[in-house]
Chain A
Amino acid sequence: MSIESIDSREPHFPKMYMSKGNFNRRILLDKIARKLFLSATLLALLVLGVLIFRISSQSIGWLNIKFLTSNLSIFPEKAGIYGVILGSLWLMLIVAPITLIIGVSTAIYLEEYASKGKVREFIRINISNLAGVPSVIFGLLGLTVFGRLFNLGSSILAGGLTMSLLVLPIVVVASQEAIRAVPNFLRDASYAMGATKWVTMRTVILPVALPGILTGSILALSRAIGETAPLVVLGIPTLILKIPTGIMDDFTALPIQIYYWTLDTVLVPEYINLAAATIIVLLVVLFLMNTTAILIRNKFQRRY
């Protein structure tokens, strides 16, 4: 085919198969749509920006060392969240070991011990559905079982146990993924050296899977530290002036305090600033936890 013949054909081609006006319109539509999709994405981010900016500006002048180190008070000028921070810490002290031990054990069972049959499938479906149960329902469970049946009331232990059940699915799923990612040749090598299944688990698989497990656990804890509804349903009292000293004490945590202060802004307008300052503390804690999780993942995760 000569060059001339292509040239002579070309002018006919677009005329035959598409009209030029339609083509331009389609290109234009594509460009408009692209801008629309981008602006919708940016709108979501704009809300995030406004949220953080607005709450930060409400907390200015209220968030200081005195606010972090003094105790709760009904007078806004005197109020501080020292006891509230301790309450959240105590809560984590219960949630972290319980979810880590039970979550990792469940994941080990599902990945390494359970035969690939109905039991395993049943537990898997059960866990994924448990993850979708509204947190307020966990609150009802905690109120009935831990609060009333075990008579733990609204203590740190009752709150911690309720919260542990709530975030357990997150730890299980993350640990399962981490264990699944351990390559089989490491297992085979360990068995070939005469190690038993448990020894292989303890000395080979868990150490390799540990970064993934820790990342998942930190994310689960960050969910637990910001969760409010289960604790409200448990019936945490409004104003706790006593600083918690043990797991049987009544307590209040950061999200609960934000909730009560927001509710009471009708009575005392300054409470809105206290709530905003507490939110900033909570967001900083969450940010630090998530950053730690990402750092652990990036630093220790090995790819085989």
Chain B
Amino acid sequence: MVKTIQVRELISKNIKSTKNKYVDKLMPYIFFVAASISIITTIGIVYTLIFDGLKFFREVPLREIFSTRLAPLASNPSFGILPIINGTIITSIIAMCVAIPIGLSTAIYLSEYASDKVRKKIKPLVEVLAGIPTIVYGFFAYSFVTPLLMTIIPDLGAKNALSPGIVMGIMITPLVASLSEDAMNSVPNEMREGALALGSTKLEVTFKVVIPAAISGIIASFVLGISRAVGETMIVVIGSGSSKNFTFDITQSMQTMTAYIVEFTSGDAGSGTLGYYSLYAVGLLLFVFTLLMNLLAQYISRKYREEY
């Protein structure tokens, strides 16, 4: 009885109130404005990078850009981009050499071998690794991993590509592990049971049934991992230093593209100089590369996903 009265009251109140009608018509527009902020952000990023980046590409000849001499602050400045692209690729390769085996093993263990009880304990701990700020990893690489590696490799520099590469791999491990595990979990149990019933061991089920079925998600997790490694900043800034030499020696300091941006903005590069515009050119390359990687990951996981 009481409830009926409330409903009637509410209805009559709503019919009478004209204020609600105006608000109701207005709200979609307000929400649309909010939603468009994310688009404006993208446009802003693309516009600033292209606008200032193009000034760089217009001034500097292509032959200089694709050279190995990077000396933006020298009296005879040169803007060869290959040293920092090289640094980025090498640190990323080291990181993926750590992240792929450990991440995939963790995913296999959690999804195929671990009991529910064990999984519930281990999974949150692995995710803690993903929540640690990258500056902390950078500190760890510089103050612990580098001195530790020095006992094995005496020639290792205080700043080197190896130690931040390894630590970056540890940072990316949870990403690879959790995305791969999701992919493997979505493989239906009937397929596992079928293979087990034919006499396969769990290892054979994993490598001959589960991984082939989940391969699109697993590869996508690797691609996203690479994208993260390429865009990672603080670990390589602290651990790998700012040497602009074109070298393949991982025991020496190398600068990555992200570290170049950080070094240059915290320096005294005045607005309008060529060095200042080089920042945006590097940013543009970085943006395009990570965007392509992210799109590739989405494409792989959508296109090659097997539906069960």
Contact = CB atoms under 8 A, between A and B. Distances in A.
Interface stretch (B66-74, B209-217, B258-266): B258-266
B203 to A, nearest CB: 4
Interface in A23-44: 26-27, 29-30, 33-34, 36-38, 40-41, 43-44
B31 A108 contact: yes
A48 interface: yes
B133 A235 contact: no
B32 interface: yes
Interface in B19-52: 20-21, 23-24, 27-28, 30-35, 37-39, 41-42, 44-45, 48-49, 52
A135 interface: yes
A280 to B, nearest CB: 10
A229 B258 contact: yes
A229 B234 contact: yes
B35 A105 contact: yes
A81 interface: no
Given A106-B31, A229-B262, A136 B131 contact: no
B10 A194 contact: yes
Contact of B287 (A102, A137, A258, A290): A137
A26 B125 contact: no
A41 B109 contact: yes
Interface in B88-128: 101-102, 105-106, 108-110, 113, 122, 125-126, 128
Contact of B20 (A29, A134, A198): A198
Contacts of A262: 135, 138-139, 142-143, 238
Interface stretch (A4-12, A50-58, A207-215, A296-304): A50-58
B44 to A, nearest CB: 6
B87 to A, nearest CB: 14
Contacts of B237: 229, 232, 259
B124 to A, nearest CB: 9
B254 interface: no
Contacts of B131: 222, 286, 290
A263 B34 CA distance: 39
Interface in B177-230: 177, 199, 201-204, 206, 224, 227, 230
A65 to B, nearest CB: 23
A54 B148 CA distance: 12
A186 interface: no
B233 interface: yes
Contacts of A102: 34, 37
Interface stretch (B54-62, B77-85, B245-253, B290-298): B290-298
Main secondary structure of the interface of B (DSSP, over half): helix
Contacts of A105: 30-31, 33-35
B42 A129 contact: yes
B106 to A, nearest CB: 4
A127 to B, nearest CB: 5
A169 interface: yes
Contact of A29 (B102, B129, B201): B201
Contact of B34 (A109, A148, A258): A109
A41 B106 contact: yes
B136 to A, nearest CB: 5
Contacts of B135: 226, 228, 255, 258-259, 262, 279
Contacts of B177: 44
A50 B144 CA distance: 10
Contact of B105 (A37, A133, A198, A226): A37
Main secondary structure of the interface of A (DSSP, over half): helix
B203 A33 contact: yes
A193 B261 contact: no
B273 interface: no
A134 B290 CA distance: 8
A145 interface: yes
Contact of B203 (A29, A265, A282): A29
Contacts of B143: 54, 58, 262, 265, 272, 275-276
Contacts of A229: 134, 233-234, 237, 258, 262
15 contacts: A37-B108, A54-B140, A102-B37, A106-B38, A109-B35, A132-B227, A139-B261, A140-B261, A140-B265, A140-B280, A141-B45, A196-B14, A196-B21, A197-B27, A229-B237
Interface of B: 7, 10-11, 14-15, 20-21, 23-24, 27-28, 30-35, 37-39, 41-42, 44-45, 48-49, 52, 101-102, 105-106, 108-110, 113, 122, 125-126, 128-129, 131-140, 142-144, 170, 173-174, 177, 199, 201-204, 206, 224, 227, 230-234, 237-238, 258, 261-262, 265-266, 271, 279-280, 283, 286-287, 290-291, 293-295, 298
